[in-house]
Structures are given as C-alpha cells and as structure tokens.
C-alpha cells in the first residue's frame, strides 16, 4: 500500500537533451523515495531495487544505460555506471573559480544565495576550510553594501553570525522600503463623458442647416447658384486673405497667417543722484569761466562718467542768457572751444551717493 500511494520522484532524463537536474541531486531524491517506501523493512531483493532505479530514471536515461558496457547486475553497479556517464569529471580549479565569481543577484535573498553557494562547494573540495570560504564569499559578493559594511564591523566573524547579521540587515532594509511606500496611491479621476441625445426636432433642424450649407456656393456664399456656375462673381477674384484666386475673403478657408513681431526691450540701468544728500558728501569744485566782460566763478558737482557738462537753469539764466537766440526755442549749444573752464579748488573728496 505504501508503494502504491507514494509517487515516484521526477524523472532524470525523459527525452533526449540535457537532464532536468544534476545526477547527484536526483540520486538523493531517489534514495529518499526508497526510505519512504521502506525498502529495507520490506526486504526487497537487490534486483527489484535496481529495476525501480531504472524505471524512475526516465526513458532516455534508461536507453543510454543499456548502451553502456559495464553496468553489472546489482543496484550499486547501476548507480556507478550512471554516475560515470552523467557526472562529468570535475576540475577543482575551475569549480573554485566559479565559486569565487558567484555573486548575489539583486532579486536573490541571503538564504537563497547561501544555499546556492553550498551546492557549488560540493565540487570545490575545500575540506576543513568550507566554513571560512563560505563566510568570505558572503562578505565579498553580497549585493547590498549595507550588509557588507555591517559584516566588516565585526571583529570575530563566524559563518553563522555572518548569515544572521545579513538576514537582519536584509529584513530591516525591506521594512524601511515598505514604510516609504505606505502612501496610498491616488487613482486617476476622469470627468464622466455624457453623450447628449438630441430630440428628433433638433436633429431635423441640424440636418436642414447642413443641407442648406451644402446648397450654397463656397466661392461667394451665394444661395442662387453652385460653385461650378459660370455666373459666380468670385471665379476670377483674388482673395484678400490668402491671396489665392477663386473665392472671396469672407468664405476663405485657409489658415490665417499671423504676423509675429519680436519686441526687444533692452536692459536699462538708471542711476539717480540723490539731491537730498548733504552738500559736504558730494564732490564739488569751483569753476572759473572766461566770459566777457569779466570772468565768473560758481560751484559744480563733479561727475567723471558724464560725456557732457550740464548747467542748472539759474546758472544759464545768470551767465548765458545774452547768448540765446531770440528766434530759437532751444538753448544754445556751446562748443568746447568757445569757452574755457578752470578748476580752482575742491571742497571735499567724498564719493557721491548714487
């Protein structure tokens, strides 16, 4: 009853091609199956155990088995023959290189990574150094930099402690990510679309407008004739909107060209002289003007950045009113050669407030 109710392990090689798993892995599954059905307690003969092995290994693997020369007659002979054929000769140096190059993937947990490393170590023959090699591989090839930093802080790090710390850090990082993504997403809100149902009378009026527009001339918008009529006044007319011939501007369907003018506003820097500043804070100078019949002196503000000299209105009225023209509405312009300024003294040398 136990044999009938217990399913066979998955086949090793059912069809031509590559096996579904390494032969060593499959053999362990088959040996567990023998324990489940209690072969020893039932005292199965060796030939029956051998037959069960060949029956479970798969059609293609069984065909290959019968082509081998040294298959023997016992169960152990059959296992040895299958192992010799399906298990390639191991290059320890190559297997150790694969082990050192095996890094944790981004979608792989620490537990899964350690399990894969343990499976690879079977062919590496590390001996008593297996624990240290596995620990060093976790520290070096862990995907998370936080795990690597945490492990390097430990003074006496063992394999069990490294796996424990790595699992704790991995769980903490996952929990932090869940906290940050705990915000409720906002669903997209769309305005409902309503299809307006027009009554029969409205549909009839809408159809009448369409038919009325269809009966009008699209050249001159007249309802007396169609567009192909020789009596249409817009046949040879040049449209004032688009410049094309054959229609009036009021029925022009061409896209209006909009003229865009660029307006460039230069940056202006305006400097204002604060006239309310005390006189002693301005740079003043006394100017002597050679005028007839006598020279005149008056004070002016020094502005070294100005390209012209400006006179107050009261100074002009006092000293230059006799030079203005009776017919001119503008103030006279003096060339530099017509008069001469002599600076006699400065009241102070302070920066003017701008």
pLDDT tens string, the chain, 354 residues long: the values are 456 578 888 999 999 988 888 888 899 999 999 999 888 877 889 999 999 999 999 999 999 999 998 888 899 999 999 998 998 888 899 999 999 999 999 899 999 999 999 988 988 889 899 999 999 999 999 998 899 999 999 988 999 999 999 999 999 988 888 877 655 555 555 656 655 555 655 556 655 555 555 678 888 888 888 878 888 888 888 888 888 888 888 888 876 555 544 445 454 443 444 454 555 566 777 776 666 666 777 777 777 666 666 677 777 777 666 654 444 444 444 443 333 343 333 333 333 333
- How remote is the C-alpha of 249 from its chain's centroid? 50
Q: Cα(234)–Cα(222) distance, rounded to whole angstroms?
A: 10
pTM of the model: 0.41
pLDDT tens digits, one per residue of 220-270? 888 888 878 888 888 888 888 888 888 888 888 876 555 544 445 454 443
Where exactly are the structural domains of the chain?
A: 2-86, 92-176, 275-303+336-354
Q: Cα(290)–Cα(344) distance, rounded to whole angstroms?
A: 13
CATH among 1.10.3470, 1.10.1200, 3.10.20, 1.20.1500 for 92-176: 1.10.1200
Q: Cα(30)–Cα(44) distance, rounded to whole angstroms?
A: 15
Q: Are 145 and 158 in contact (CB under 8 A)?
A: no
């Amino acid at each position: 009853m136990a044999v009938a109710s217990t399913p066979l392990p998955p086949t090793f090689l059912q069809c031509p091609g590559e096996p579904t798993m390494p032969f060593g892995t499959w053999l362990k599954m088959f040996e567990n199956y023998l324990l489940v059905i209690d072969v020893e307690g039932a005292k199965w003969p060796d030939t029956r155990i051998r037959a069960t092995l060949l029956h479970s290994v798969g059609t293609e693997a069984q065909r290959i088995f019968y082509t081998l020369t040294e298959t023997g007659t016992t169960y152990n002979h059959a296992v040895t023959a299958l192992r010799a054929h399906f298990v390639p000769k191991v290059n320890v140096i190559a297997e150790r290189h694969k082990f050192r190059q095996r890094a944790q993937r981004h979608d792989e947990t620490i537990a899964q990574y350690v399990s894969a490393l343990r499976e690879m170590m079977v062919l590496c023959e590390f001996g008593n150094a297996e624990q240290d090699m596995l620990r060093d591989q976790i520290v070096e090839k862990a995907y998370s930099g936080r795990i690597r930093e945490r492990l390097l802080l430990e003074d006496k790090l063992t394999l069990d402690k490294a796996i424990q710390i790595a699992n704790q850090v991995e769980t903490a990082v996952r929990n932090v990510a869940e906290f940050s993504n705990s915000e409720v997403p906002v669903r997209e809100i769309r305005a409902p679309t309503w299809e307006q149902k027009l009554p029969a009378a409205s549909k009839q009026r809408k159809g009448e407008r369409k038919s009325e527009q269809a009966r009008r001339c699209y050249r001159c918008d007249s309802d007396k004739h169609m567009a192909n009529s020789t009596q249409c006044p817009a046949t040879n007319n040049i449209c004032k909107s688009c410049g094309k011939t054959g229609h009036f501007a009021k029925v022009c369907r061409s896209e209006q060209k909009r003229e865009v003018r660029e307006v460039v506003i230069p940056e202006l820097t305006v400097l204002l002289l604060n006239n309310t500043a005390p006189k002693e804070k301005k740079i003043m100078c006394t100017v002597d003007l050679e005028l007839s019949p006598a020279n005149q002196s008056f004070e002016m503000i020094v502005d070294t950045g100005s390209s012209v000299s400006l006179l107050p209105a009261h100074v002009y009225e006092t000293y230059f009113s006799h030079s203005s023209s009776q017919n001119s509405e503008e103030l006279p312009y003096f060339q530099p050669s017509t008069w001469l300024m002599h600076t006699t003294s400065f009241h102070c040398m302070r920066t003017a407030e701008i």
